[in-house]
Structure 1
C-alpha cells in the first residue's frame, strides 16, 4: 500500500470519527482530530509569514529583486515551509495507523455489545475503523446513552 492511499484512509477515519465528549477519556482520536483540524487552519498563515519574512530579511522591500532577496536565505525558508506543510500529514498517517489497529479485549467486548444492540453482525477481527463505524451508527440510532457503558 502506498503512502497516498494510507493518507486517504487516515483522512477518512479522521473525518468520520465522532467528536463526543464521552469518548475523550477513552480514545485519543478526539484530541488528535482537534489538533490536526487546528493545524490545517493556522499553518497556512504561518507559511505565508515565513515567506514574507524571508523576502523582508533578504532586502526584497528595499528595491532588491525578488530572486536575489530569496537567494540569501532560501534553504532555511524552504526547510521551514516543508516542515510546516508535513505536520498535518503526520496526523493523517497517525490516523491511518489507528484505523488499522486491532481492538483490545475491552474494546472488542464493547464493539460486540454495540453490534448486538444494532442487530448487526460483528467483524471477526475488528479494527478501530470497524469500531468507529459502529459508534457512528450507535450514536445516530440510540444517542449517547450507550457510550456511558464504555
Structure 2
C-alpha cells in the first residue's frame, strides 16, 4: 500500500503522540528511541542547519553555497526522516508473536473492565500503541508490570 509522504508524516506525528513513552517499552520496541531522537531533532536541527550554512559560507565563501545548502538541507531533513519512519511503522501489521501478545493484553484488559474496541483481525502497530497507552493510563502499575 503506497502512501504519500504527507500522509506518512501525518501518521508519524499521530503515532508519536499515541505511543506510550514508558521505561518498560524501551528495550522491547525501537519506537521509544526513534521518538526521543525525532523530538530532539525537531528542536535542534533547524538551528544547526542554519548555523552550518552560515558558518560554511563565512569560512569557505559564496562559491561553496551549493554545498552549504546541501548540508543544511540534510540537517533539516532529519526530523522528517524520523516522522516518515514512524508513519511507515504505524501502518505495518504486527508480526505473529506480537499479535498474540496484543490479543492477550486486549483480553486481560477487557477482563479488568476497560472499555475497548473489538480487536482487529490484522492489527497494526498503531492499534498496539493505542492499547498500550490505554493500559498505562487506566490500569495500575502492578497489573501492567506482569506484562513486561
Normalising to structure 1: TM-score of the pair? 0.83
* Greater C-alpha radius of gyration: 1
State the match for 1:128 in structure 2: 125
Q: Deviations over 1:73-120 (max 9, x none)?
A: 110111011111111111111111211111122211221122223323
Task: Mark the CA change 1:148 to 1:24 in structure 2 (over 3 Å): closer, same or farther.
Answer: farther
* Paired positions, count: 139
What is the distance in 2 between the residues matched to 1:85 and 1:116? 43
What is the distance in 1 between the residues matched to 2:126 and 2:16? 10
Runs of 4+ in 1 over 6 A off after TM superposition: none
The offset of 1:147, in angstroms, is 4.8
Normalising to structure 2: TM-score of the pair? 0.84
State the match for 2:102 in structure 1: 111
State the match for 1:34 in structure 2: 36
State the match for 1:62 in structure 2: none
Q: Deviations over 1:14-65 (max 9, x none)?
A: 121111000111111001111111111221221221132134226xxxxxxx
State the match for 1:96 in structure 2: 87
CA RMSD of aligned residues (A): 1.7
Check the 8 A contact 1:23/1:147 in 2, yes or no: no
State the match for 1:46 in structure 2: 48
Q: Return 5+ residue gaps in structure 2 as ranges.
A: 111-115
Check the 8 A contact 1:22/1:148 in 2, yes or no: no
What is the distance in 1 between the residues matched to 2:100 and 2:66? 52
What is the distance in 2 between the residues matched to 1:91 and 1:101? 16
Check the 8 A contact 1:9/1:96 in 2, yes or no: yes
